[in-house]
Homo-oligomer: A and B are copies of this chain.
């Protein structure tokens, strides 16, 4: 019934368009890319053929020829099996709200530049992490690396060949970095805990040991607490991993060991605080009545927890957006617009630190008597 390849419909190529328009592929390419201002008639013939055939240029061919893929690779750290938990937190590590929101921030600005994100998770410690990231690099025009994915030597080597921006890392000769202002944020939080609430013993529930963010938050909290004459707790018993499981595990062990809990716990991030609050609630410990708990990041759920989580807000989406913009400048100019960007943080006071909640006045009625259901004991 029909011509060649009736089934197995292959997308039309620029040759098909040229033929349909009665022009050469060069002309087609030119009107599509707005080069050399083609005659009005030419433009129309091309546009019509394109519309009829439903043509769009093949990304690979375009990339190869134009030496620009319009893709940036994003590498996220995937929890290794030993870190991932089970039970209540089984898939907790898979709900990486912070990185996901950062990615969304990148995606939105990338759109405006015609770029897309190629997302790959890599397990650190996996012996060929370097290779996995290299192959990601060759599928894109540049890389954005979450966390500490590469050791300095690997980073240095790779960054000489492809533009790289790191998040929550440190800038190097050849890479740029974007992060939040950890010290200012943690300082504000520490002072609130110590001065405003008067807590005397404060612990830091750490994130990954190799994370500069973690280090800065730890140091700042320690400095502030001890400067105010308070007791600071940290160390091996307080090692988390930026995930809820990690936070919960620390609390469980401490309680099982009959250790004394501090009056306040500042967590490396919100995810950890989530685990801590959950573990505390399971033991019947009141937050913030008996132990105050704070996070860092202000991920969206923080305000939906009960008690609502006091935390240090980072402009999460902006972190991603900024990382993309810097990478984009490296891709197009060869030079980063800036080697290091530090975005401001802000202390968000809610209930989990001991501050009072807010509440709107009620005004309602139910359709049936409340006694009808079975309220919990």
Contacts and interface: CB of A to CB of B under 8 A. Distances in A.
Interface in A38-83: 54, 56-61, 63-64, 69-71
Interface in A112-164: 116-121, 131, 134-140, 157-158, 160-162
Given A59-B63, A60-B69, A289-B376, 20 more contacts: A8-B334, A11-B161, A56-B131, A56-B134, A71-B139, A91-B101, A91-B317, A94-B101, A95-B97, A107-B120, A116-B139, A119-B119, A199-B368, A199-B372, A262-B367, A284-B362, A288-B375, A289-B375, A290-B370, A355-B376
Contacts of A70: 139
A357 B118 CA distance: 42
Q: Count this chain's copies in the assembly.
A: 2
A159 to B, nearest CB: 10
Contacts of A104: 94, 96, 121
A299 interface: yes
A305 interface: yes
Contact of A198 (B285, B334, B372): B372
8 contacts: A60-B139, A116-B139, A198-B372, A200-B372, A256-B363, A260-B367, A288-B376, A357-B376
Interface string A101-113: 1011101100100
Q: Which 5 A-B pairs have the closest CB atoms?
A: A306-B306, A59-B139, A60-B63, A95-B300, A284-B362
